Amino acid sequence: MIATTPGLHAVELAGPRTTPLLGVTGNYIRFVADQLTWLEKLSSYGPLVPLARGNTQHLFIFHPDYNMQVLSNPALFRALELWRTGPEDSSLRRLWTGLVSINGEVHRQHRRMMMPSFHKKKVESYRDAMVACIGRMLSGWKPGEVRDIFLEMRQVTLLIVTQVLFGLEDDRETLRMGMLMAEWLERYASPAVHLLPWDKPGLPFRRLMNVSERGEAAIRALIARKRAQGADGDDVLSMLLHARDEEGGSMSDAELVGQTNILFVAGHETTTNSLTWTLFLLDQHPEVHAALVEELEGELKGAPPTIEQLERLPLLDRVVKESMRLMPPVTTAFRTSTAPFEMGGHRFEAETQLYYSPYITHRLPELYPEPKRFLPERWLKAEPPVYGYIPFSNGPRRCIGSTLALLEMKLLLSMLLPRFRLSLPPGTRVEPMVRATMRPKGGLPMRIHTQDKHFERPEVRGRIRDLVALS
């Protein structure tokens, strides 16, 4: 449960009233339960909004200038260290201790040690492994089938990220490890876990603790195996085992566990959702779909793209960029202030929790006219401020794996689209929901066709029509 103490300074900011009896905690519960509705509700009050009127401990920011103030100053606005009130010596704590949650000098050192694994040239060296994983997935598809594209994208991204991060080449072992860590994220992202964070029998938190122990054991076993083999592989974990800081220090096994897990979770979950939403948006926009297939066929002639060819696919780049603008996988992220600060002409206290939102930022009409429309061509002229387009966050803590994710997305789309046309069955209900990332509730069924170029827009139902202009 969150604290209900009002801010020490009376700051007159418009915002929603508190829930009877539960106060600001009631608002927090409602935000966690339906994040998209509450982001829209909060942003209607303006660019700087408290979670509850009269309480400035929880502050939402909806403007690129405020994003810049928060994201460019990691000393004043620290990553929110979740589970700091949870078990000190627990698998859950260790699994969460990665780049997204550590701060200060430790974050700087670890990021510097990890950067060589995500340098552009190093990421490009993973191209062949990615192409092989994507090819195996596509070879199992048959025209006429209806497949859950969300699950298909999850499986292939699991294979890719597990091979790239861990160097596992056996698909069965890869998927076992991948599904275990995916289960960890599912349980971690459950609203019930955050609202009832007690390690008691029968509670979701206890189940999260149990899967955390299994996840840590699996990663530690892999670390031990890598070390015994000399850690001479080309994967990220092998490189981290050899990484040293300026004084010659290396990561402890506990630190390796956390960094590996967070890289894995971030590396597959966000990409899964971005690919799923991109395929949905293409199906709903036949003209863009047709133009992209034409670009891919003209450049690639049926072969997987080389790194050089990806640079010659401008529409593909715009489609990916626009999809991640309209349906960013991460809708909200968090920081907490270490000292008093001023923002928007108001003064706030230390320990203020700030929530910035790629989802709302990307839909500001002053930055993106017709913000609910999927318009890849907008990127021919659009030049939003640096902190006005933040699918990978920005500043010193920008997602370290962004280059890897973009390469993965572009390779998959460029191999899939010339070979198959995917279409939603008419009348499909599409319900976006947020559980750590924004995904389609219940998956996304799509029928597989050979690429026959019969591009049509099937009618869809559900909440997606409130998020995306489809007519």
Closest CA to 343 of 10, 45, 70: 70
- Which is higher by pLDDT, 150 or 244? 150
pLDDT at 6 over 50: no
Mean pLDDT over residues 338-362, rounded?
96
Residue 106 pLDDT > 60: yes
Task: Give me the pLDDT at residue 3, please.
Answer: 43
Q: To the nearest whole percent, how much of the chain has pLDDT over 90?
A: 64
How far is Cα 9 from Cα 352, in angstroms, rounded to an integer?
12
Q: What is the DSSP letter of 451?
A: S
More confident: 87 or 325:
325
Share of the chain above pLDDT 70, in %: 96
Range of weakest confidence among 35-44, 179-188, 276-285:
179-188
Is the pLDDT at 445 greater than 90, yes or no? yes
Answer yes or no: is pLDDT of 148 > 90: yes
pLDDT band at 117 (very low <50, low <70, confident <90, very high): confident
Kindly report the CA angle at 321 between 316 and 325, in degrees rounded to 5?
Answer: 145
pLDDT digits (tens, 9 = 90+) for 391-436: 999 999 999 999 999 999 999 999 999 999 999 999 999 999 998 8
Q: Please determine, for residue 62, whether its predicted confidence score (pLDDT) is greater than 50.
A: yes
pLDDT at 9: 45
Q: Which domains does the chain have, with CATH numbers?
A: 24-467 (1.10.630.10)
What mean pLDDT is predicted for residues 359-369?
Answer: 98
399 marked as part of a ligand binding site: yes
Across 303-312, 358-367, 393-402, 414-423, least confident range: 393-402
Q: What is the mean pLDDT of residues 243-257?
A: 83
| Amino acid at position 440, single letter | P
One-letter-per-residue 3-state SS of 180-232: HHHHHHHHHCCHHHHHCCCCCCCCHHHHHHHHHHHHHHHHHHHHHHHHHCCCC
Sequence length of the chain is 471
Supply the Cα-derived Rg of the chain in whole angstroms: 22
pLDDT at 328 > cutoff 80: yes
pLDDT of amino acid 266: 78
pLDDT band at 10; cut points 50, 70, 90: very low
Across all residues in the chain, what is the average pLDDT?
90
Calpha distance 168→176 (Å, rounded): 11
* pLDDT value for 84: 46
Chain Cα centroid distance, residue 108: 22
222 HSE (CA, 13 A, CB side): 29
- Residue 375 phi/psi, 5-degree rounding, is -130, 80
Instruction: Report, as an integer, the average pLDDT of 55-77.
Output: 96
Cα-based distances in Å from 286 to 178, 210, 458, 460, 470: 34, 46, 10, 14, 11
Conformational region of residue 351, where left means phi above 0, alpha means psi within -120 to 50, and beta covers everything else: left
Q: Residue 273's Cα: distance from chain center in Å?
A: 8
The confidence score (pLDDT) of residue 188 equals: 84
pLDDT at 410: 98
In this model, does residue 4 exceed pLDDT 60?
Answer: no
What is the band of 82 on the pLDDT scale with cuts at 50, 70, 90? low
Per residue in 184-210, pLDDT (tens digit) is 888 887 878 877 888 889 899 999 999
Mean of the pLDDT values across residues 176-191? 83
pLDDT surpassing 60 at residue 127: yes
Q: Which of 6-10, 381-385, 447-451 has the lowest mean pLDDT?
A: 6-10
> What residues pair up with 19 in beta bridges, in sequence order?
23
What pLDDT sits at residue 89? 84
pLDDT higher than threshold 90 for residue 228: no
- CB count in 10 Å sphere of residue 310: 19
